[in-house]
A and B are shown apart, each in its own frame.
Chain A
Amino acid sequence: MDWGILGQQILNGLTIGSMYALIALGYTMVYGILQLINFAHGEVFMIGSFLGLGTLALLDAAHVNLPIPLALLVAFVVAMAGAALLGMAIERVAYRPLRASPRLALLITALGLSIVLQNAVMLIVGTEDRTYPEAYTEALIDGFDIGAIHISYQQIFTLGLALVLMTLLTILVQKTRMGKAMRATAQDPMTAGLMGIEANRVIAYTFAIGSALAAAGGILFGLTYSINFFIGYQAGLKAFIAAVLGGIGNIPGAMVGGLVLGVVEALGAGYVSGTWKDVIAFGILVVVLIFRPSGLLGERVAEKV
């Protein structure tokens, strides 16, 4: 056993896993409140990634010579805000009118919306793979060695930012008034309503936060890999698995689920074969659904009488 290689693989897994986790949070938060699997969420991630790319490209085109960290900050703010608006719009247009309908109607709407968004982006930006401007990717590509483990700055950036965003989310949900309202609505929407919590506002807010996190994941993804109109499909599915793995509806569960899925995938691809990555990911989904449907950390199921 080569420990250096093992360490490298775990680091590889944590990097992609933290992106899964950022997307998975949106799935799990929406599920927690609406019991809806928002399959259009993967597309929000994809659009967030394109918004980030567009912002950086615009800054370059306008010769606004911001230092790299500042330009990245602008890209994150624009993409996260844009995605938040998109998430709220999706909820307002596609889900709110159907909220009283059977769950199946919502699910199908979500799938349909996902296809609409995917194809809309395809028509706007085309089909080819795009990369973030080289100035940004090259700034992050190098790194240093600790023993046999090569750590790139990009990996540190990804993990660090994901950690910061997850901490902020935890504080928001646990400590703020809106967080309390979200938790109350998730537990029992009717009672929460009777206590004067406006469900529509809470739900819109939840979509906004989940979408903003997905957009942040999208920029991290774009800085690391290449993006096209199709990335939301696979990343969305993986994040969905991560959410189920951690226990859908459970916020820390989505974080843990994302990281675990990333690491397991990396170990599978690294020690078994690169072709087994998806088999392993979807295998996990099946096993979890059979043996522990409530996920690793469990779902907070409110008994409805």
Chain B
Amino acid sequence: MRQFIAAILATVTSVSLAVPVLAADAIKIGVASPITGALAKMGADIRNGAELAVQEANARGGVLGKKVELVVGDDKGDPREGITVANKLVQSGVVGVVGHLNSGISIPTSKEVYAPAKVTMISPASTNPELTQRGLKNVFRTIGRDDQQGKDAAEYAMKAGFKTVVVLHNKNAYGQGLAEVFKANFERLGGKVLMLDGIQTGDKDFTPVLTRVRAKGPDLVFFGGEYQDGGLLVGQARKVGLKAPFMGGDGLFDPLFIKLAGKKASEGAIVTFPPFDRAGSFATTYKAKYGSEPGAYSGYSYDAARVLLDAVKRAGKADRAAVMAQVSRTKGFKGVTGTITFNGQGDQPGFKFGIWKVQSGNFELVK
């Protein structure tokens, strides 16, 4: 027994001694997204994007001659879990984190956990404007902002001749934020908002709220939220006789949106999402590796991870503060989602959202 304890002690000591050596051997970056829970598919898409970037970097011999190690964190789409996972990532010694998905998680973790530890956070998916407006030096995003997206959406809706709209959202920082920006812009342009209401994300039966929407008789229904809820909303609208077309933001941009809604019901749905090259080599590589098309944010997470590794390379060392400074100097980085240049607050000025429409079961860029 005593020998056994001694053996354990020896192992523990050698492990704890080995940690700094290991950390010096590999460069660690983190990816944090909801791997389990209601948003698990989107979370996995984000992890896959980062994983692909890391594997490609390692295939080219690593960064600064060292192997890159990806530490995966599962925030479960829950802000409390987000804080826990962020702490774990920081303790594991990552220089930066690609994540999170939800604005409602990116906002608190970047300030409470990552900022004090000087860990860079690059979100591939959090579009809520507040994220980058708090004067934090460690926060960046490869995606655009909802104030831009909501404005682009409202302008298109107005031009397309929709005069009245019902606005629904999923109550989280992203969905509600986007819905409110859309509403404000649509009203500013002279449109009329007949109703604004939230739904419970993860719920499956939306017929009651859709029946209420039908009673209002809008020209268009705008939904701020993700595709799981959005797909069901669009599919069930037909079951209660609601015929107005649906419009939504980047969170709906996923092949599963069309599958969940059904081909017939999804036809003509309008989604704002940045234009990108879907036939490019990234999509091909991704499909070959994961067996499915890249998710909405896979490209953004792939780019975020590459921007981070590029900054490590330029910093010349895996030092958190140095990496953060280099990320902020990212300029003209050629990503698969576009050319990435960060402004002083971590946003990409000039980020453009496009208008996509579902046509015979596919998203087609219309503007």
Give the residues in chain A near B37, CB-CB below 8 Å.
Answer: 230
Give the residues in chain B near A234, CB-CB below 8 Å.
Answer: 202-204
Of the 9-residue stretches A4-12, A246-254, A297-305, which lies at the interface with chain B? A4-12
B197 touches A273 (CB 8 A): yes
> A101 in the interface, Cβ–Cβ < 8 Å?
no
Give the residues in chain B near A150, CB-CB below 8 Å.
Answer: 239-241
Number of interface residues of A (CB under 8 A): 45
A274 touches B197 (CB 8 A): yes
> B40 in the interface, Cβ–Cβ < 8 Å?
yes
> A16 in the interface, Cβ–Cβ < 8 Å?
yes
B41 touches A274 (CB 8 A): no
B262 touches A141 (CB 8 A): yes
> B284 in the interface, Cβ–Cβ < 8 Å?
no
B214 to chain A, nearest CB (A): 8
In whole angstroms, how far apart are the Cα atoms of A117 and B211 in the complex?
Answer: 35
In whole angstroms, how far apart are the Cα atoms of A131 and B202 in the complex?
Answer: 15
> A65 in the interface, Cβ–Cβ < 8 Å?
no
Give the residues in chain B near A270, CB-CB below 8 Å.
Answer: 208-209, 211-212
Task: Identify the closest chain B residue to A16 (Cβ).
Answer: B205
Candidates B200, B214, B228; contact of A129 at CB < 8 Å? B228
In whole angstroms, how far apart are the Cα atoms of A221 and B212 in the complex?
Answer: 22
Once A5-B212, A137-B262, A150-B241 are accepted as A-B contacts, the answer to whether A12 and B205 lie under 8 Å apart by CB is yes
B231 touches A8 (CB 8 A): no
Candidates A224, A269, A278; contact of B208 at CB < 8 Å? A269
In whole angstroms, how far apart are the Cα atoms of A142 and B239 in the complex?
Answer: 7
> B334 in the interface, Cβ–Cβ < 8 Å?
no
Task: Identify the closest chain B residue to A142 (Cβ).
Answer: B238
* B 155-175 contacts with A by CB, 8 A: 168, 171
Give the residues in chain B near A152, CB-CB below 8 Å.
Answer: 238-239
Task: Identify the closest chain B residue to A137 (Cβ).
Answer: B262
A231 touches B41 (CB 8 A): no
In whole angstroms, how far apart are the Cα atoms of A89 and B254 in the complex?
Answer: 39
> B71 in the interface, Cβ–Cβ < 8 Å?
no
B45 to chain A, nearest CB (A): 10
B208 touches A225 (CB 8 A): no
Once A131-B260, A234-B202, A274-B199 are accepted as A-B contacts, the answer to whether A8 and B40 lie under 8 Å apart by CB is no
> A13 in the interface, Cβ–Cβ < 8 Å?
yes
A13 touches B208 (CB 8 A): yes
Task: Identify the closest chain B residue to A8 (Cβ).
Answer: B211
B256 touches A273 (CB 8 A): no
A231 touches B204 (CB 8 A): yes
In whole angstroms, how far apart are the Cα atoms of A134 and B204 in the complex?
Answer: 17
> A259 in the interface, Cβ–Cβ < 8 Å?
no
Candidates B204, B209, B215, B263; contact of A226 at CB < 8 Å? B204
In whole angstroms, how far apart are the Cα atoms of A226 and B227 in the complex?
Answer: 12
In whole angstroms, how far apart are the Cα atoms of A266 and B342 in the complex?
Answer: 47
> B85 in the interface, Cβ–Cβ < 8 Å?
no
B212 touches A122 (CB 8 A): no
Candidates A12, A16, A134, A228; contact of B240 at CB < 8 Å? A12
Given contacts A228-B40, A274-B206, 9 further A-B contacts (CB under 8 A): A2-B215, A129-B256, A143-B239, A221-B204, A225-B236, A226-B204, A226-B260, A230-B37, A275-B198
User: What are 14 residue pairs bridging A and B, where the CB atoms are less than 8 Å apart in the complex?
Assistant: A2-B215, A5-B214, A8-B240, A12-B211, A122-B40, A128-B40, A128-B41, A129-B260, A141-B264, A145-B241, A221-B204, A226-B232, A270-B209, A274-B197
10 closest pairs, A vs B, by CB?
A127-B40, A150-B241, A269-B208, A274-B209, A225-B204, A128-B41, A12-B207, A270-B208, A275-B198, A266-B208
